[in-house]
Every structure is written in C-alpha cells, then in structure tokens.
Amino acid sequence: MSNENDRTPPDDPPSITLTCQHRHYWWSGADDAPETWHVSADIDDGGPHLGDMDITLADACETHDPFALPDGQDAELGHIAGTIFDAGHGRLDPDLDEQLEPIGNQILILHSVRLVPQWQGFGLGTLLAGTAIRKLSGGARAAVCYPAPLSEPTEAGPDDQGDADRDQAVAALQKVWARLGFEHFRDDVLDLSLVTLDEKLGQLRKNAERYRTVQD
C-alpha cells in the first residue's frame, strides 16, 4: 500500500471551482436573519463533485436572536452559537469581542466542511475552506469554527475509549485549522482574525503547487 506521500489527488487542483449559493426569503429583512451559504467544490467543465461547505454569516449587532441559528441547521452551528454569543442579551461574548479587531459587524461561522474520501489527506480542504471564507468575509470581524470529527457518536452510550478517540481527533483538527490562523477560544470553538488570512492562504496555495499537473 502506498504511503501518504505517494498519493496524488484524483485531478488537477487548479481545476477545482467553488460555487456559492445563498437562499433568502423575500420577506425577511436584510439584517434580521443570518445569511446561510452552501459552497460546492467541483472539477470544472462538468467534472466530479469533491466536497461541500456550509457557512453562516450573522450580524453581531443586528441579528435579533442569534440562538435561533441552529433551527434547521446542524449541531455544530448550535454549539458555536451558544459559545460565541452571550445567553443574557444575545450579543457577542464580551471576551471574544475584546480580542477581535473592531472593524466589521458580521461573524462568519464555518460549521461544515466535507470532502469525498479520494480528496482527503492533501491539505486541500483547509485551502478550499479558507478560499471560501475569504470570498464571503466582506464586512466580517472574524471567522469561527468547531473542529468536530465527521463521524457521528454511537448509540451505545458513554465510552471512555470513544471519548479519548474523539478528543484526539479534535486536537488533530485544531492543528489542521491552525494552518489558516484559527486559535482556540472556548469549548473547542476556534476563532480566526481575518487580518492574517491572505498570508496563510498564500502558504497553503504554495504547498498545493506540488500536486499541480504539468500541462504541455
């Protein structure tokens, strides 16, 4: 079996396109409800699908009820909302507010990143997520994420070994997201100052160049 260094992506990474889709009810005010975006990663010219991302943008000043964010969404989004917003008045947690840049009102929440197995292990998921964050982060103060493992918990009940494995997986994912500049805030939720994002993306793009197919 080939080791990780012998593997190559199924296709040329520069051929990947990101398609961003946003659904918004016409009767909802521009700032009343958060923006939820689905980002699809595909090979261009009708090529295969390789991944999906879900991003929510919430205005920390105008969103009336940030704790309504989980409605119809995933558990990760609910955990993030409960961590970064103050339960007493629904505003941004004061500790997080103090450490962020003062410019911008929106908080970008990256709450789901999925790549098909054939594309995993090359560091491209982090690069694609960072690219999507940069594309959608206009007017945002920061990005946050929750590096939860992709596997769902079993129904067998508490399992010390399972908890240990999960903690190990979370720690590994924290290191992965640190490549974009994410740092631990609280309860495994990570926050990212957008000031250094371009620099981090540049490094990831340079790393991805080794997978580029040479064209005649």
CATH number, domain at 155? Answer: 3.40.630.30
Judged by average pLDDT, the poorest of 32-41, 122-131, 160-169 is: 160-169
- Whether the Cβ atoms of residue 84 and residue 93 lie closer than 8 Å to each other: yes
pLDDT at 24: 76
**Residue 54's closest CA among 72, 79, 36?**
36
| 61 domain residue, yes or no | yes
* Count of structural domains within the chain: 1
| 39 domain residue, yes or no | yes
Q: Residue 24, SS3?
A: coil
Quick count: other Cβ atoms within 10 Å of Cβ 119? 19
127-178 pLDDT, tens digit each: 999 999 999 998 899 999 988 654 444 444 455 656 777 778 788 888 999 9
Q: Which two tokens stand for residue 130?
A: 């960072």
| 216 domain residue, yes or no | no
| 111 domain residue, yes or no | yes
Classify the C-alpha dihedral 158-164-169-174 as positive or negative: positive
| 95 domain residue, yes or no | yes
pLDDT at 67: 65
pLDDT top residue among 69 and 77: 77
| 172 domain residue, yes or no | yes
pLDDT at 18: 97
pLDDT at 147: 83
| Per-residue pLDDT band at 216 (split at 50, 70, 90) | very low
Q: What is the pTM of this model?
A: 0.84
| 82 domain residue, yes or no | yes
Q: Which two tokens stand for residue 132?
A: 């999507």
| 187 domain residue, yes or no | yes
Question: For the residues 38-51, what does the mean pLDDT come to?
Answer: 93
| Per-residue pLDDT band at 114 (split at 50, 70, 90) | very high
Q: 145 is in which domain, residue-wise?
A: 4-211
